[in-house]
Structure 1
Amino acid sequence: MTDQSTLTIRPGGPDDAPTVLRLFDTAIAWLAARGRSGQWGTEPASADPQRIAQTDAWATGGGLYLAMLGDTAVGALVVGAATDYVPPATEPELYVNLLVTDRAHVGHGIGARLLAYAEELARDRGLGLLRVDCYGGDDRALVRFYEGCGFTATDPFTVHRPGRDPWPGQVLARRLD
């Protein structure tokens, strides 16, 4: 585990878009090396115009937070409104749009700490619901990760992408009251 006292979380901004792309690239390479390309594919995010635009929007949207070990970003969290491909919530919520961590620190609790921070943000805003969606394919390891962090699987969904295989997703929710 990472010493949680040395892990800090700070708001991100426009200058942090390259950092988020770096985190994506390392995660994609790590997943692909393990035969797990269904989540984000095999090509670097930093070479994908759609992923670059999405990352730029997150970096300028006010919902980006970075987990820092010293001066090094080891994780990124984006919170905001739910994406349009998931069933809408029936009450006000905070939605986790992105959670990605530096794979050099796998198993150090960085993702769980970022999710706990998202919970703090939701509580501070008077919200009783935190939701996230994730890749629900293969062995559902990512779904199990979120369940281990206190989330409950709710709605499965599929994103149909032109010229590509359908992407199986899973919405998970965590009650905060």
Structure 2
Amino acid sequence: MVIRRASVADAPAVLRVFDEVIAWFVAMGNDGQWGTEPWSASPQRVARVSEACAMPGAWVVEEPSGRVRAALVLGESMPYVPAATEPEVYVRLLIAARDEGVRGVGRRLMAFADDRARAMGVNRLRVDCYGGGSGALVRFYESCGYERISTFEVDGWPGQLLGRSL
């Protein structure tokens, strides 16, 4: 698999990954993170993913067959978290397929984010994620070297802000 720059043309493939992950969440009883409906069925979410894929810090992981299996978007912090107090790279989006064939790709993309930050001369990264459910997602980011900064809520959705210094 290779990591390559994304473009808006990758949005349908990234939406397929979202749809697969949401189906996996629903099967395990996790409907709090992103709901139960496929993102590809929501014009608002299709637009959001298209905009994200068009950003200069958007990347996808692609199999040799050309199938997109994961996406990472780096950029400025999200508007619902406190502004950065120092230069940073913000992980705006991380999504990875849930099958065994791509196991570990999320961790690989987080290491790639570290590499991108170093290349930019930036020593700070932040990410936010779903802070509800079992807490597994928060623990994933902690296992990547991130520490909890603060919690937040957006329209009843519980979030966790995390950060790390290189």
Q: Does TM, normalized by the shorter one, top 0.5?
A: yes
SS at match of 1:99: strand
Q: TM-score, normalised by structure 1?
A: 0.90
In the alignment, does 2:163 pair up with 1:173? yes
How far apart are 1:97 and its partner, in Å? 0.7
Across the aligned residues of Structure 1 and Structure 2, the Cα RMSD in angstroms comes to: 1.2
Q: How many residues align?
A: 165
Distance between the aligned counterparts of 1:107 and 1:138, measured in 2? 23
Alignment of 1:4-83 (within 5 A): 7-70=1-64, 71-83=66-78
Report the TM-score when normalising by structure 2: 0.95
Q: Deviations over 1:119-145 (max 9, x none)?
A: 111111111111100000011110001
Instruction: Summarize deviations over 1:81-133 as a string: whole Å, max 9, x none.
Output: 11100111210111011101111237711000001111111111111111100
User: What residue number does 1:131 align with?
Assistant: 126
Q: Which aligned runs of 4 or more in structure 1 are off by greater than 2 angstroms?
A: none
Measure, in 1, the Cα distance between the counterparts of 2:47 and 2:56.
15
Unaligned runs of 5+ in 1: 1-6, 161-165
Aligned counterpart in structure 2 of residue 99 of structure 1, from 94, 111, 115: 94
Instruction: State the Cα distance separating 1:37 from its structure 2 match.
Output: 1.0
Residues in 1 aligned to 2:101 and 2:29: alpha-carbon distance in whole angstroms? 17
User: 2:73 is matched by which residue type in structure 1?
Assistant: V
Contact 1:87/1:155 (<8 A) preserved: no
Secondary structure at the aligned position of 1:103 is classed as coil
Give how far 1:72 is off: 2.1
